[in-house]
Structure 1
Amino acid sequence: MYDINTVRKDFPILGREVYKRPLVYLDNAATTQKPRCVVEAIANEYYSVNANVHRGVHFLSQQATDLHEAARETVRRFINARDVAEVVFTRGTTESLNLVASSYGEAFLHEGDEVIVTVMEHHSDIVPWQLLRERKGIVLKVVPMTDEGVLDLDAYEQLFTPRTRLVCVAHVSNVLGTVNPVKRMAEIAHAHGAHILVDGAQSVPHFKVDVQDIGCDFMVFSGHKVYGPTGIGVLYGREDLLDRMPPYQGGGEMIARVTFEHTTYERLPFKFEAGTPDYVGSHALAVALDYVSALGMDHIHAHERALTQYAMEQMQAIEGMHLFGTAPGKDAVVAFNVGNIHPLDLGTLLDRLGIAIRTGHHCAQPLMQRCGVEGMARASFALYNTREEVDALVQGIDRVRKMF
């Protein structure tokens, strides 16, 4: 049974006050709060197990290595990758995307080759491809969307040519909450001989993600958005593709043998993990994944979906409310503006009521342009949020509205 009151006790920060008001934390798409077990795992490893991994023969190094590699298996199981060789630890979604752009781009892309992205991508899934365009002369194509925030699949399929090599798509929009049909998009991409990369930063924390079922060639996500620590993330890649891609960085850990004449590289996944890894972060990420698994991803999804629907219904009643993203089955995010109130003003005044939301362009300026605005306010939900917090948000927005 999913007991929200019991769950909230696992997150001490939710009990604090801001400006002498109870904290209502609704900025979970930016980062989630951490359960006690994750913070304790970090402290315990530094106090009891801390040693560099993979290189030492002494007890602490062996123990730290075991925890680090056990974390890789936890990730593999959580996303249903075929093998731990397909799980690369990075600093987060952004580094994972840059790794693919650099390494896949070097191995597979040439001048005139095409990469398809969507209008709702985060900057981290746009800028690396633009940088590659400057270096290698690739072509970027953009999938449009409807006014409701639904990708146009007919237009998507028409973008393919014999030069299309890769599709990059957010599983869930960090602004609109749209859950994109990535399995169908993967089928279309593969039918045209292209690979597909799925940005799972906003999906992995909210519902079950199975990379084999989706059929994606790459999947990326961040630890800090799924109740884990900052500075740790994951790149999933099909083993045959990763094996053909050159290293992203050079140095220790990723080598098999080095001479001044020649270097040979380690086997997967270590070929892409130069330097000392964040072995404390990987273990803490595994603890976070075990935590949400114990709660049940289906329970989390049902709770957050109901909360999102409730928020949409309540916010629609506010005078001057403009909701962005009304796709069926949207997930855990509500973006909005109210009347002529600047979103920064709205966010600042809500903060004084103890309510934390996000304002601005949300690292999705092309999407803002598509929607005809400079910025939006955004409330985003997590497994610990409640209807009472949604009520506080609605009351807070209405209070601010009456000030203008």
Structure 2
Amino acid sequence: MLDIDFVRAQFPAFSEPSLKGRAFFENAGGSYPCRQVTERLDRFYRSRKVQPYYGFEASKLGGEEMDEARSGLSAMLGVDASELSFGPSTTQNTYVLSQAFRQMLEVGDAIIVTNQDHEANSGPWRRLADAGIEIREWCVDPDSGSLEIEALEQLLDQRVKLVCFPHCSNIVAEINPVQTITQLIREAGAVSCVDGVSYAPHGLPNVCDLGADIYLFSTYKTYGPHQGVMVVREPLAQRLPNQGHYFNGGDLTKKFTPAGPDHAQIAACAGISDYLNSIAAHHGCDAQSPHAKAQFVHDLFRAHERELLQPLLDYVMSKDKLRLLGPCDAEHRAPTVAVALSVPGQQAAAELALHGIMAGDGDFYGGRIIEAMGERPEHGLLRLSFVHYTSENEITQLLRALDAVL
């Protein structure tokens, strides 16, 4: 079982006086950073904030720490370090990728997108219609919010070159069967782009096992600084046109980074690996490979989250005033619970704040899925989301606050 006291001791926010008594339930918008990250960021700004990769000591140490971030995360994800790039955000990374595909695709080629996605993995691809690319929409079931495999099969043909879909939605939160979907895409002769932003905070996946050609996530949702991580598997990365400076085209880690990177934030991302390794060690993991350690931690996180999530789902399902979007079974969803109410989501979140609950409200860049399920994005949902560092006491606090507000 996850040692929640050890976990929370790794996060400075839980000893911050201004946050005492407040339970954080908007983790889907961004998690607390772990101390391993904040310590690295502080050290970099104090002693290594120089141009990296030169011959003097501060510069060498800064470059080495940036390399450590890339090698540590890529090893846990089960990919080569050359296949991982950093960017300012996942939205920006996706836009850069879309421009690379725009150069590679031909008029009449097709891309499949979903209406379950965050707009970051939908909008940039839809804009390629302006270049003569056909955009096909894989639509959710309007009652469940699920993406059905049969619906994808009907859209696939020899003209489809790319399929973009989420590992899980930031609203319905259903965990999609990525391996099944990527195999189907591969058999159709297309490549896959998986948005993992809403899944990665609950345990880093093995991208190789998933079969994804592209996997995207954000480190500010995985206990780190505001960066986007982009994995592009080498065969595809070699085919795509260079989007960086002309002299960087031969370096896969720079090929999809048009602007200069944020050295300090990239270096701080090494703290994410430090944190996950510390969790594995504390809980007695004897695995040697980084991705095996990551899988061990993933399973720890998911077990803890499922245990806390099911009572919240049961509570929401028992209330006539609330409509749960997505599965009611904790086994099949991430701990992101979006609900529709008769009152605007903003009003409900403001009332919960009076009871020490920090929750989100709005459309969360998911207006397409909200409309598809018959709700109004402008009315706003209430979103209650957590990660592994959330405690059972905080769930109890949330349920009592919901009782008071409802």
Work out whether the TM-score is over 0.5.
yes
CA distance in 1, matches of 2:41, 2:189: 43
How far 1:17 moved relative to its partner? Answer: 6.2
Higher helix share: 2
CA distance in 1, matches of 2:155, 2:320: 40
Match of 1:228 in 2: 224
Q: Which of residues 395, 398, 404 in structure 2 aligns to 1:399?
A: 404
Q: 2:340, 2:375 within 8 Å by CA — same for their partners in 1?
A: no
Q: Which of residues 91, 94, 98 in structure 2 aligns to 1:94?
A: 91
Q: 1:208, 1:298 within 8 Å by CA — same for their partners in 2?
A: no
CA distance in 2, matches of 1:139, 1:17: 53
CA distance in 1, matches of 2:34, 2:253: 29
Question: What's the CA shift string for 1:73-129, capped at 9, x where partnerless?
Answer: 112111101x2111111112112211211112212x222211111221111111101
Match of 1:75 in 2: 73
Q: Which of residues 249, 252, 261 in structure 2 aligns to 1:277?
A: 261
Q: What pairs with 1:2-401 in structure 2 (closer than 5 Å)? A: 2-16=2-16, 22-54=21-53, 56-81=54-79, 83-107=80-104, 109-134=105-130, 136-146=131-141, 147-230=143-226, 232-250=227-245, 255=247, 265-295=249-279, 296-326=297-327, 328=329, 329-338=332-341, 340-374=342-376, 375-401=380-406
* Secondary structure of 2:255's aligned partner: helix
How far 1:208 moved relative to its partner? Answer: 3.9
Please report the RMSD computed on the Cα atoms of aligned residues, expressed in angstroms: 1.8
Question: What's the CA shift string for 1:246-287, capped at 9, x where partnerless?
Answer: 22243xxx626xxxxxxxx34222233345322221221121
AA aligned to 1:88 is S
AA aligned to 1:235 is M
AA aligned to 1:279 is H
AA aligned to 1:153 is I
AA aligned to 2:71 is E
How far 1:2 moved relative to its partner? Answer: 2.1
How far 1:225 moved relative to its partner? Answer: 0.5
* Secondary structure of 1:220's aligned partner: strand
How far 1:324 moved relative to its partner? Answer: 1.0
CA distance in 2, matches of 1:327, 1:186: 25
CA distance in 2, matches of 1:289, 1:370: 38
How many pairs align?
A: 383
How far 1:21 moved relative to its partner? Answer: 7.0
Alpha-carbon distance change, 292 to 314 in structure 1, aligned in 2, over 3 angstroms = farther
* Secondary structure of 2:27's aligned partner: coil
CA distance in 2, matches of 1:327, 1:181: 17
* Secondary structure of 2:137's aligned partner: strand
Q: 2:114, 2:137 within 8 Å by CA — same for their partners in 1?
A: yes
Q: 2:145, 2:373 within 8 Å by CA — same for their partners in 1?
A: no
How far 1:378 moved relative to its partner? Answer: 0.8
How far 1:391 moved relative to its partner? Answer: 1.9
CA distance in 2, matches of 1:289, 1:132: 36
* TM-score, with length taken from structure 1: 0.90
- Structure 1 residue ranges without an equivalent (≥5): 257-264
AA aligned to 1:379 is L
CA distance in 2, matches of 1:79, 1:287: 15
Question: What's the CA shift string for 1:24-63, capped at 9, x where partnerless?
Answer: 1000010000122211110011112222123x22222111
Q: 2:88, 2:261 within 8 Å by CA — same for their partners in 1?
A: no
* Secondary structure of 1:42's aligned partner: helix
AA aligned to 1:104 is F
Question: What's the CA shift string for 1:364-384, capped at 9, x where partnerless?
Answer: 111010111123111111111
CA distance in 1, matches of 2:303, 2:357: 24
CA distance in 2, matches of 1:166, 1:271: 20
Please say which of residues 388-397 and 367-376 is displaced more in the overlay: 388-397
Q: 2:97, 2:256 within 8 Å by CA — same for their partners in 1?
A: no
Q: 1:79, 1:211 within 8 Å by CA — same for their partners in 2?
A: yes
CA distance in 2, matches of 1:51, 1:274: 20
CA distance in 1, matches of 2:306, 2:139: 25
- Structure 2 residue ranges without an equivalent (≥5): 280-296
Give % identity: 28
Please say which of residues 309-318 and 123-132 is displaced more in the overlay: 309-318
* Secondary structure of 1:29's aligned partner: helix
* Secondary structure of 1:205's aligned partner: helix
* TM-score, with length taken from structure 2: 0.89
